[in-house]
Amino acid sequence: MTSEGPRGTVGEVSRYFFRLGVIAFGGPAAHIAIMRRELVRERRWVDDAAFVDLLGATNLIPGPNSTEMTMHLGAMRAGRWGLWAGGAAFILPAVTIVLALAVAYVRWGTTPAAEALLAGIQPFVLAIIVQAIWGLRTAAFKGPITMAVALIAVLLALAGVNQALLVPGAGLVALAASAGAGGRLQRWPGAFASLARRAAAAFGRTSAKAMLPLFAVAAPAGYSPWELFWVFLRIGSVLYGSGYVLFGFLNADLVQHRGWLTEGQLVDTIAAGQFTPGPVFSSATFAGYVIDGYRGAALATLGLFLPSFAFVALTNRWIPVLRRTPWAAPFLDGVNAAAVALMALVTVELARDALDGGFALVLFAVAAAWLIRWSPNSAWLVLAGATAGIARAALT
């Protein structure tokens, strides 16, 4: 992690992340992969080591990882205002598109189909993700301890353990293992060393536990705008994971407990976030509009994303300090290894869905060859995939 101050401008940060928000199809793994290609390899805002540190940090706090990466990178490039500009610029295109879909949905009762578009884009985006993970391997996996921690994280994720437990647990395991291997455990404060050992042991035997009951409350009588804001603020403050995890929270709070949405409306809400570029959590805008029009859309969006800005603002300045702290560096190494390993696991799941036929496999091969030979701008890859998907739909 570089110790140099910001080297760019808020305008530069805003322009880049707004453009990224327009083309960033494919979910958080794809967004992070594009940022790695363009901001590490091409623009050199940060190096791979710093990028992986930021990725690990986003996995330690609630909220949408790729959106929080835009905030961290914006802060590193242009200071504290770059943090706000990067996050807001990335969110704005998705929120605008999803809001338009919500207006159309309320008026005509359906969301526009986007399967043809995604069928072309996903194989190209998948190639970008694979390239990014391969490029990050040396920064994330620094030795036997981090490789073992990554393997344990993947196995526990497959067994159903929540990411909220996996990522910090991985850091504690790496911390304890590194200290024990170096013979330095006895020099740590006794209470801290004992805590690290106990947490590491718990990490290895923890099973998945449902988080939703911890945050469910009794349904009130009637609708309140400020209650809508509070519901989304609370979700944004505790939510780890993907848009499908968001689905569970919204189902508990808005469908089951309050009856503000029907199950069918909730499915369409999540679909709107999946079919559009940018953060999947822009589904909040759709849900808010269906419940209470433009006011509801604004309150839900602000409530869900505001905690991420707060968490990143609180943690960003401490990441370089942690990297320089002898006892904290192994913890961050373990977190980073788990984060990249879990990103790879998500990529395998995405490939299983995206590469479902000859057309998708051909597009993936073309994208991989194009990346290896010419390393084009990510926008051209997304445009090529979209064109291929639309052309195929028109011919069949």
What is the per-residue pLDDT across 141-199, written as a single tens digit (0 to 9) for each? 888 889 999 999 889 988 878 666 787 888 889 888 877 655 444 444 444 444 444 54
| 9 and 78 Cβ atoms separated by less than 8 Å | yes
Least confident stretch, 67-81, 191-205, 226-240, 254-268? 191-205
Q: What is the pLDDT of residue 2?
A: 46
Q: What is the pLDDT of residue 255?
A: 84
Give the tens place of pLDDT for each residue, 56-89. 888 888 888 899 999 999 999 999 999 999 999 9
Higher pLDDT, 115 or 136: 136
> What are the two backbone dihedrals, phi and then psi, of residue 63, each rounded to the nearest 5 degrees?
110, 175
Q: Of 96, 113, 131, which Cα lies nearest the Cα of 278? A: 96
| 179 and 185 Cβ atoms separated by less than 8 Å | yes
| 231 and 303 Cβ atoms separated by less than 8 Å | yes
Cβ neighbours of 104 (radius 10 Å): 14
Higher pLDDT, 306 or 1: 306
Token reading at 366: 């073309």
Rounded CA-CA distance 137/105 in Å is: 43
Residue 49: pLDDT above 80?
yes
| 153 and 338 Cβ atoms separated by less than 8 Å | yes
Under 8 Å CB-to-CB from 303, ≥6 apart: which residues? 228, 229, 230, 231, 232, 233, 235, 236, 284
pTM of the model: 0.70
Confidence of residue 242 (pLDDT cuts 50, 70, 90): low
Cβ neighbours of 263 (radius 10 Å): 10
Confidence of residue 211 (pLDDT cuts 50, 70, 90): very low
What are the residue boundaries of the structural domains of the chain, listed by start?
1-396
Handedness of CA 296, 299, 225, 239 (dihedral sign): positive
Share of the chain above pLDDT 90, in %: 29
- Helix spans in the chain (H): 10-23, 28-35, 48-60, 65-108, 115-140, 144-158, 163-182, 190-205, 212-215, 225-238, 243-250, 263-275, 283-315, 319-324, 328-354, 358-374, 378-395
Rounded CA-CA distance 353/98 in Å is: 23
Q: What is the pLDDT of residue 256?
A: 79
Rounded CA-CA distance 40/55 in Å is: 13
Give the tens place of pLDDT for each residue, 317-368. 888 877 777 767 788 888 878 888 887 887 787 788 778 888 889 999 998 8
**Hey, which of 24-28, 43-47, 201-205, 384-388 has the most confident mean pLDDT?**
43-47
DSSP 109: S
Q: What is the pLDDT of residue 354?
A: 75
Q: What is the pLDDT of residue 69?
A: 95
Token reading at 117: 């578009």
Rounded CA-CA distance 40/138 in Å is: 14
Q: Give the DSSP letter string of 42-101.
A: IS-SS-HHHHHHHHHHHHHSSS-HHHHHHHHHHHHHHHHHHHHHHHHHHHHHHHHHHHHH
Give the tens place of pLDDT for each residue, 278-318. 888 898 999 999 998 999 999 999 999 999 999 999 988 88
Q: Of 313, 260, 305, which Cα lies nearest the Cα of 282? A: 305
Mean pLDDT calculated for residue range 226-244: 81
Rounded CA-CA distance 166/182 in Å is: 24
Higher pLDDT, 201 or 164: 164
Distances (CA, A) of 372 to 8, 88, 159, 309, 365: 29, 32, 35, 36, 11
| 101 and 272 Cβ atoms separated by less than 8 Å | yes
